[in-house]
Amino acid sequence: MKFATIAIHAGQEPDSATGAVSVPIYQTSTYAQEGLGKHKGYEYARTQNPTRLALEANLAALEGGAASFAFASGMAAIHAVMTLLQAGDHVVVSDNTYGGTFRLFDKILKKFGLAFTYVDAREPHLVEEAVQPETRMVFVETPTNPVMSLVDIAAVAETTRRRGIRLVVDNTFMSPFFQRPLELGADIVAHSTTKYLNGHSDSIGGALILNDKEDILRLAFIQNAAGAILSPMDSWLVMRGTKTLAVRMRQHDGNGRLVAQFLAEHPRVKKVYYPGLKSHPQHELAKRQMAGFGGMLSFETGSLKNAKGVLEAVRLCTLAESLGGVETLISHPATMTHASVPEVERNRLGITDGLVRISVGIEDAEDIIADLDNALAHLDR
């Protein structure tokens, strides 16, 4: 079956009790047992919930994995995957991850004896060079947030396979519709389902998808033992979201290309970061590794004053953190999503005070462009 069919049908058996076509929201904390040790496979809802299990089956199918685990947020999912490690282990990380991921690693997990080395993973050989005898995981995000640089997943997987290290890929920005890390050799895919998978800016969630039998058992244990599960209501919302993932992603991608082109040609815009533009330094890799370019882009306005000017002049685009929803969101990474990244590091990564990020929604592209055109008209050249 093809992607759009899988998205609608995987894990979506009609409800066995009623025939309900939409998987019911099993809003229960526990399940009646017929006798001691006699139950229907459901004992306590932290451990098993039919709505969550249906979503997990759906996400596993979409990423082409054997199993999936859904968590209360993207950060909870990333935290869970890190607890596969133990004190003394070392992790190589792409140096431009979501600020919250860096914060989790740097401010919390370091205290528990994990060590992290951040590398410019656009160059796969730098990942290889950072590997130490204690390295147990490589964690990359691609495309990176917000300057849209890419990691060659297959090239990094070649290193991790050879060295027997897990490769974890945060696939939030592309979604499985455009990028399938497991097929490229990654071991575990992480998602903030809050973004494209849910797609409607009305739920916070996260997920891990993987193939390795032992890690599946370990993560099932961690999900239950640590308990950061996705609620039944949120599981249902994400499931409703994934049913339209294919159509939404096509529209995000189409609009993303048009908005990126418009900005690239605009005299007041200094630079546009979008993998679909020929000017993107990794455009060839983008074409090879991704089936589309998506709806995320950033552009340089040259100064904080200019960035502020655009962010305050837009009317249709909503000034807000987050991304991947049906509505176009616009944000200022330096003071919003990446405020927890030290300033020197931000500047090195290109996250300047003049950088503006857009999560291009699925409205009519003409309206998004007209809104940006109007906002840009106020800027100093």
CA atoms within 13 A on the CB side of 170: 32
Q: Is residue 98 flagged as an active site residue? A: yes
Q: Which of 74, 124, 199, 361 binds ligand PLP (CB under 6 A)?
A: 74
357 is catalytic: no
Q: Which one of residues 98, 139, 177, 262 is an interface residue with ligand PLP (CB under 6 A)? A: 98
Q: How far is the CB of 62 from ligand PLP (least distance, A)?
A: 17
Catalytic site residue 170? yes
Burial class (CB in 10 A: 0-12, 13-18, 19+), 14: exposed
Burial 122-132 (b: 16+ CB within 10 A, else e): bebebbbebbe
Taking CB under 6 A as the criterion, the residue among 12, 73, 135, 251 binding ligand PLP is 73
Give the CA dihedral 256, 259, 262, 265, nearest 10 degrees. -60
Options 98, 118, 273, 274, the catalytic residue: 98
Question: Nearest-5° angle of CA 274, CA 194, CA 361?
Answer: 45
Among 81, 104, 204, 365, binds ligand PLP (CB under 6 A): 204
Among the residue ranges 11-19, 168-176, 237-245, 368-376, the one whose residues contact ligand PLP (CB under 6 A)? 168-176
User: Is 187 noted as a catalytic residue in this protein?
Assistant: no
State which amino acid sits at residue 81: V
Where do runs of H (alpha helix) occur along 232-282?
232-243, 245-264
Select the residue interacting with ligand PLP from 145, 149, 201, 235 (CB under 6 A). 145
Please select the residue that binds ligand PLP; options are 206, 241, 275, 354, rule is CB under 6 A.
206
Count of residues engaged in binding ligand PLP, rule: CB under 6 A: 15
Collapse the DSSP code of 247 into the 3-class scheme (helix H, G, I; strand E, B; otherwise coil) and give the result: helix
Closer to ligand PLP by CB, 75 or 189: give it: 75
Give the pair of three-digit tokens for residue 286.
């983008």
Contacts of 231 by beta carbon, 8 Å cutoff, 6+ apart: 72
Considering the candidates 166, 180, 195, 346, report the single residue annotated as catalytic.
195
Check binding of 100 to ligand PLP (CB under 6 A): yes
Catalytic residues: 46, 98, 170, 195
Contact residues for ligand PLP (CB under 6 A)? 73-75, 98, 100-101, 141, 145, 170, 172-173, 192, 194, 204, 206
